[in-house]
Structure 1
Amino acid sequence: MNTPPSPPGTEQTDGSSIQIGALVPLTRPGWVEAGQHLLAGLELAVREVNNAGGIVGRPLKLVVRDTAADPQRAAAAVDELARLGVAALAGEYHSVVARAAATRADALGLPFLCSSAVLDALTEQPTEWVARLAPAQSHGWQIYADFLLSAGYRRIAVAAESSVYWASGTRILRDYLAPRGGTVIELDMRTLAPTAVCDELVASRATALLLLVGYPEPAVSIVKSVRRDQRLAEMMVGAPAGQPEFAEWATLLGDDSTAIPFLRYLPERLSPLGTRVEAALRERLAKAPSFVAFEGYDTIAVLADVLRSHGANRARTAESWPRVAVEGTRGQIQFSRMPGISIWQWAWAPIQVVDRDPAEPDRFRILHSS
């Protein structure tokens, strides 16, 4: 491994806490509810580690920084956390932000366990410093494409904004669907108003519309426009990136929030550990925890195991990724090298396609699973 010089604070040897830097979107334009769930999972796991005696007698401490979905802000936070002497980085939800953080962590020689971002190329070049729990976008979105085909959808419109993440998603869908008889029709949301989307859908004869756009806007306005257009009464609306997972979606859209399939990274049945953690997270959040909260918990479970085994030395933490074997809330977590992915990857977290039940919007229906 190409190990850069370690800055002061890399090895914490006194009786002080072992610090983990946590990158979380907690303010707009970040996806705040996702950030709150991610942080709840991180904090719950830290509390449990400390209640059980910490890391060889030393308490674990989160040092939280709000990324606000801003890549430059995230990179600056990585610099600051490295100077503060954190043993590792954890967290982040937004893929483009996680990519900036991973690139900076790699340059500084700071281990980063990415909790929730899915973009395949988190770093341009292969790195030993970064590992990830969330499934890669290419893997999850191919499962979503399988769901579309199995449900009979062949002409798929994507309402897409301009970003690396959305462009990657469009490419994954097109590359997977085209050889199997599917067609992907791109609607450029840089030039279309939500109401104009409806005319484009009618003209293109699409049978499904996928929301590859920001949340809450323009996603909410697009759904409202489509659901109110009688010409599109049979149109399936989907959101592979998971916008309907959170309670705010149902609050903003009411009855229109249902029957919109999205990707969720949970098993059909939780293990005893997962069931216990779900109850604790529900109490902490005062609502049902999303899969993002479980990702946060599992992140700390992995880092705590590594720190117990190898101490708070950054290089030894990074070297340990291929030897991780931790029972998480959603299965046994181990990291490996996957084709086309530059980081250490858990292959794979369980994946479901679910939607909100029209008869009971707070209940999720499993439509497809891996």
Structure 2
Amino acid sequence: MCVVITHMRSPGRSEKDPSAVRIGVLVPLSPPGWVEAGRHLLAGLELAADDVNDGGGIAGRPLVLLVRDTAADPRSAAAAVDELARLGVAAVAGEYHSVVARSAAARADALGLPFLCSSAVLDDLTDRPTDRVARLCPAQSHGWRIYADFLLDAGHRRVAVAAQSSVYWAAGTRILRDHLAPHGGSVAELDMNVLDPTAMCDELVRRRATALLLLTGHPEPAVSLVRAVRRDRRLTDVLVGAPAGQPEFPSWAALLGGDGSGVPFLRYLPKRLGALGTRVEATLRERLGEAPSFVAFEGYDTIAVLAEVLRSQGTDPARIATSWPRVAVEGTRGEIRFSRTPGVGVWQWAWPPVQVVDRDPAEPESFRVLRSGAVPRAAGPSWPVTGLLPGMIDGSSAER
């Protein structure tokens, strides 16, 4: 069952207010969902809603967020969309986990309800092209190809992935393999459902891998795998990477300390934030009690986009669903516009800024930008992921 949370920071605002404009919000706020990511996503969504209401709301009407905890469960997400539709929301937004977002997108599309996905990157967010769904974060194939180019430029041709069973991790492995192969690279898949950390280290030595990518859940087994590699003298020169972004959040540094530094990952922030991004960053830092992740900025931008659409199109879901190609909104990370992108069946912001970063070994609380996003090297088409089944998370709480 989904946990119900109503955004009501300002006195007098209520989901029962007949004048309120309601947006349904999906976030993972309990295990096995990645709660830390959900908390950051919700903080960004709520801050943006506060800013909208402080600026007069939607044509004088208060904006209310009806928040539902998906707990990384696709069935709960679909049920939440049904409930939110009955409550008369103008649109649904949010979600972090890709398989969960895919379930929500399918249900919203079937109900004729617009869905703006904040933070789930799986290329095939829907089974078929639809006008009702749009997405802010980059498609997995775009970001992970940039990450693959980072590996190539750093001289890594023998790459191993420590992978768990998940559609998301399988898609990532395929993207990396297809992109590295034309440039003389290879990807060896190490099944972490079979291997323990010690056996994984033995495999890295046997395969002469120069880089190990963690395509696993966080904190476990990711934390144990990093510790095993750091303590194995045979693997001193092996790069440990985490393209899905596990090191972005404070818990990574808290659990691993210095061992968690020097692990490159993808994040979706520009080199420098503009005036809006800087203000939002300061407020989010105060609310969260820690530095906001890129996921929090994705949350803020989600409501910023929907508020502009609601102001221009009203609250009719059909009108909202036809408005994506006309969106032009200044977000925290640049101007947001949606277009049709080959291989992606939803309206896509192409593209948000992409960085490959790591935690500085000299100062693990600080980040180093190792590569800024650019058009990836030519590669084959993205892998079409079809036939996803409910519940295909398999404990991989880092799955986006």
TM-score range, shorter chain: over 0.9
- The aligned residue for residue 96 of structure 2 is 93
- The aligned residue for residue 310 of structure 1 is 313
Pair 1:337-2:340 in alignment: yes
Pair 1:217-2:182 in alignment: no
Q: Could you tell me which of 133, 152, 158 is aligned with 2:155?
A: 152
Deviations 1:208-236 (A, max 9, x none): 00000111111111111111111111110
Per-residue deviation, 1:192: 1.1
Q: Could you tell me which of 63, 80, 84 is aligned with 2:83?
A: 80
- The aligned residue for residue 131 of structure 2 is 128
- What pairs up with 1:209-358 in 2 under 5 angstroms? 209-358=212-361
Q: Could you tell me which of 49, 52, 58 is aligned with 1:46?
A: 49
- Given that residues 45 and 297 in structure 1 are in contact (C-alpha distance below 8 angstroms), is that contact kept between their aligned partners in structure 2? yes
- Given that residues 27 and 66 in structure 1 are in contact (C-alpha distance below 8 angstroms), is that contact kept between their aligned partners in structure 2? yes
1:312 match: secondary structure? coil
Q: Which AA in structure 2 matches 1:292?
A: V
C-alpha distance in 2, partners of 1:227/1:136? 31
- What pairs up with 1:151-230 in 2 under 5 angstroms? 151-230=154-233
Per-residue deviation, 1:15: 4.8
C-alpha distance in 2, partners of 1:79/1:230? 54
Per-residue deviation, 1:262: 0.1
- Given that residues 157 and 210 in structure 1 are in contact (C-alpha distance below 8 angstroms), is that contact kept between their aligned partners in structure 2? yes
1:174 match: secondary structure? helix
Q: How many residues align?
A: 358
Unaligned runs of 5+ in 2: 1-14, 374-400
Unaligned runs of 5+ in 1: 1-11
- The aligned residue for residue 138 of structure 1 is 141
Q: Could you tell me which of 351, 358, 362 is aligned with 1:359?
A: 362
Per-residue deviation, 1:194: 2.1
Deviations 1:260-291 (A, max 9, x none): 00001000000111111111111111111000
C-alpha distance in 1, partners of 2:112/2:193? 38
Per-residue deviation, 1:163: 1.0
C-alpha distance in 1, partners of 2:91/2:259? 42
Deviations 1:103-136 (A, max 9, x none): 1111111100000000000001001110000000
C-alpha distance in 2, partners of 1:318/1:168? 28
Pair 1:116-2:119 in alignment: yes
C-alpha distance in 2, partners of 1:103/1:339? 20
Deviations 1:73-119 (A, max 9, x none): 11111111111111101100111111111111111111000000000
Q: Which AA in structure 2 matches 1:110?
A: L
C-alpha distance in 1, partners of 2:196/2:76? 30
C-alpha distance in 1, partners of 2:32/2:224? 17
- What pairs up with 1:53-68 in 2 under 5 angstroms? 53-68=56-71
Deviations 1:216-261 (A, max 9, x none): 1111111111111111111100000000000000011111110000
- Given that residues 15 and 58 in structure 1 are in contact (C-alpha distance below 8 angstroms), is that contact kept between their aligned partners in structure 2? no
Q: Runs of at least 4 residues of structure 1 off by over 2 A?
A: none
Per-residue deviation, 1:301: 0.2
